[in-house]
Structure 1
């Protein structure tokens, strides 16, 4: 029996199309995940997939690599593991160790370790990175504002912005060795999704991020794929920087998700990278913009098959919302009203299972939670859901994006 091994597999609602594509290649899944993720997501895993799709599962803390190896050895006596995929931060390094041990295709231990440590990333990409400071840097030598972030954080977690010397002095007693202190760059964020085989880049796609105004600009509130506001030169530079990153971290095989910030003067700064697929709905947006599956191409990489990802045929956009207008406007009345699993123990339907869609308009309307949140969002937990939409031309996309953003970002009661 052919199976796929998934580290962090109970997070399937983040990557529904990836699991769906896997079922075109395998008979089921072996899952390694944390006890916490089992508690949060196991009851809903089979709501979309067949009841027997998970053949076996191991719920374990990510640092217990030896126990994982023993379990995988046992599984190899019963199943033919044809590919291994990690989809979560928790298992980046431990999955790489296991995959190296069993010679499954993967980014490699070095790349996985570096993706978990911002200080190493800064050292390797110093000429592309924000200026870094130390705890003992005299305040007179600091160009405020600065941002303090844990070396192992991701997605804006644990970030603190210090706007002036007074804030710096107050924060100094809390600084530790596992924090990075660096110049705070204001601008537009972008990500580059890169497929790599044996260190060779075989595909690159660029996504433009939509963020809140500073100081909450670390919080992604949407995306454009392909970018709506980037020049060709900017896109080419983002790709070149990412190719340099692939070489310097010795990324072997898989998908690399790199994030950058573009200042108003056009200068591009490297922020961080992950040795795993991108989160939110970035992968789904590639399907909406190209009518092809980046997930399938990622699996092709892991199975040494040909990669052939087409260019975008249209623009795709995503907007998260923190509250929904009531009543819903006419343009939001959509047949694609699905629910995500987290708060309501429901599932996110794979993109390709949606009904046939037009090239313009609302494609997905997903509600993440029904809980009330703050009027002013402060973290990803405040995002209530999202809308994905498409438009055939640049001008059509600009107009539709303005309409959606002005409605979804209106204050409650407006």
Structure 2
């Protein structure tokens, strides 16, 4: 099916998680296009609040022309809706910013003859076992739990500690450490045959992500983000901080990370879109792929790109999807996001001391992550946002996956030294009250 060419108004189909859609909607509207949005049926209070703001004047969701709630697995239903829209609108571009909609997003682009990530990238990036098979050159030793018990135990006998990962989940859900053969045998007893997991050798080293905008198979922008996790505190792997550009690697290491990402994308036949790869740099200098996604990064990393480069990276992604030139600027400042640990209990309140004009932003009250305002290259360090990701009175438990995090801060500085100094200031300023 060729691009719609309908006589109706020009439009853009966005598959997204609505609370993170603001910058995409702004970019689409700025290019004179209507936003046709597909998202999953609301499951959480934040999503329900987001839906209530659709079409409301003065809110970013005013830009939503049409909104359809469709399950990501309902490919037939999604494509029926796409065909209906194609008869009414002149659809110019398609993009999926949500992990679960990567494959339907690609299928929609293919149906309409528009740029997309490509069939191999869409399929492989949604399955961690396929990633290990296709990308073995960069991957640690791994085995699927669905093999015979003896085969699995033998293959991993001298590889402890291990990591167990669900094949198609995200946000560290279900990821855990297996420390010895006894623990592995017990874990295999727990895994349902119909829901196998990937078991792989744990890789130690500095962790980074590489974000790449790709246009027609060519990387046109790439950045390296430094990670911090809570993995040293227990058996989980929850990301607790991101820094852009990365401060703890050499120029050569950054170059090799980008080269590895480019090689991985070439192997995947990645067409047009944005890729988010997670890697570790080992003690001997080798680079190991943890996993890769055919969509933008989560958390506040896209906000960090805007703070660091001074420009909306969502706008550059929309340009790529439209087949327009992408000229995203390189970073000019250093930006960081941190998540705060908390005691278990009920979230009573959040306060910010000593930072006039920076009040806690309760995301669930507004239905979206707010926009950030970049500072000039030489501006002093600044705290840009403190976001509360849970509702007042929400129960807080151990940080075993990304959904357990409650409070986060975004800040930036003109150089890495002052960023590190300011980090301590931010941590002292934010107070979380839990009962």
Question: Given that residues 325 and 408 in structure 1 are in contact (C-alpha distance below 8 angstroms), is that contact kept between their aligned partners in structure 2?
Answer: no
How far is the alpha carbon of 1:374 from its aligned partner? 4.1
Q: 1:286 aligned to 262, 285, 305, which one?
A: 305
Q: 2:13 aligned to 1, 5, 8, which one?
A: 5
- Go from structure 1 to structure 2 and tell me whether the alpha carbon gap of 1:354 and 1:226 turns closer, same or farther (over 3 Å shift): closer
Q: 2:385 aligned to 364, 367, 370, which one?
A: 364
Q: 2:171 aligned to 151, 155, 158, which one?
A: 155
Question: Given that residues 336 and 354 in structure 1 are in contact (C-alpha distance below 8 angstroms), is that contact kept between their aligned partners in structure 2?
Answer: no
The C-alpha deviation readout for 1:366-391, integer Å capped at 9, x for no partner, is: 22223455464222222112111111
Question: Given that residues 391 and 397 in structure 1 are in contact (C-alpha distance below 8 angstroms), is that contact kept between their aligned partners in structure 2?
Answer: yes
How far is the alpha carbon of 1:359 from its aligned partner? 4.2
Three-state SS of the structure 2 residue aligned to 1:397 is helix
The question of 1:225 aligning with 2:230 is answered no
Residue aligning to 1:82: 92
Q: 2:316 aligned to 276, 297, 316, which one?
A: 297
Residue aligning to 1:126: 136
Structure 1 unpaired stretches of 5+: none
How far is the alpha carbon of 1:52 from its aligned partner? 5.4
Question: Given that residues 145 and 183 in structure 1 are in contact (C-alpha distance below 8 angstroms), is that contact kept between their aligned partners in structure 2?
Answer: yes
Three-state SS of the structure 1 residue aligned to 2:53 is helix
How far is the alpha carbon of 1:411 from its aligned partner? 10
How far is the alpha carbon of 1:59 from its aligned partner? 2.0
Determine the C-alpha separation between the residues in 2 that align with 1:376 and 1:287. 31
TM norm structure 2: 0.85
Residue aligning to 1:387: 409
Q: 1:67 aligned to 74, 77, 97, which one?
A: 77
Residue aligning to 1:401: 423
The C-alpha deviation readout for 1:169-224, integer Å capped at 9, x for no partner, is: 21122344732110012333211111111211111111111211334552111210
Question: Given that residues 308 and 335 in structure 2 are in contact (C-alpha distance below 8 angstroms), is that contact kept between their aligned partners in structure 1?
Answer: yes
Structure 2 unpaired stretches of 5+: 1-8
Residue aligning to 2:27: 21
TM norm structure 1: 0.89
Residue aligning to 2:328: 309
Residue aligning to 2:4: none
Question: Given that residues 157 and 181 in structure 2 are in contact (C-alpha distance below 8 angstroms), is that contact kept between their aligned partners in structure 1?
Answer: no
Question: Given that residues 277 and 291 in structure 2 are in contact (C-alpha distance below 8 angstroms), is that contact kept between their aligned partners in structure 1?
Answer: yes
- Go from structure 1 to structure 2 and tell me whether the alpha carbon gap of 1:51 and 1:173 turns closer, same or farther (over 3 Å shift): closer
Three-state SS of the structure 1 residue aligned to 2:308 is helix
Residue aligning to 2:3: none
Determine the C-alpha separation between the residues in 2 that align with 1:149 and 1:327. 33
Equivalent residues in 2 for 1:103-182, closer than 5 Å: 103-133=113-143, 135=149, 136-138=151-153, 141-175=157-191, 176=193, 178-182=196-200
Three-state SS of the structure 2 residue aligned to 1:261 is strand
Question: Given that residues 325 and 407 in structure 1 are in contact (C-alpha distance below 8 angstroms), is that contact kept between their aligned partners in structure 2?
Answer: no
Determine the C-alpha separation between the residues in 2 that align with 1:355 and 1:371. 38
Worse-superposed segment, 269-278 or 16-25? 16-25
Residue aligning to 2:358: 335
- Go from structure 1 to structure 2 and tell me whether the alpha carbon gap of 1:3 and 1:355 turns closer, same or farther (over 3 Å shift): farther
Determine the C-alpha separation between the residues in 2 that align with 1:326 and 1:40. 20
- Go from structure 1 to structure 2 and tell me whether the alpha carbon gap of 1:141 and 1:82 turns closer, same or farther (over 3 Å shift): same
Residue aligning to 1:270: 289
Determine the C-alpha separation between the residues in 2 that align with 1:270 and 1:36. 33
- Go from structure 1 to structure 2 and tell me whether the alpha carbon gap of 1:63 and 1:381 turns closer, same or farther (over 3 Å shift): closer
How far is the alpha carbon of 1:357 from its aligned partner? 11
- Go from structure 1 to structure 2 and tell me whether the alpha carbon gap of 1:309 and 1:260 turns closer, same or farther (over 3 Å shift): same
Residue aligning to 2:6: none
What is the number of residues matched between the two proteins? 409
Worse-superposed segment, 214-223 or 189-198? 214-223
Determine the C-alpha separation between the residues in 2 that align with 1:33 and 1:173. 36
What root-mean-square deviation, in Å, do the aligned CA atoms of Structure 1 and Structure 2 show?
A: 3.0
Residue aligning to 1:211: 229
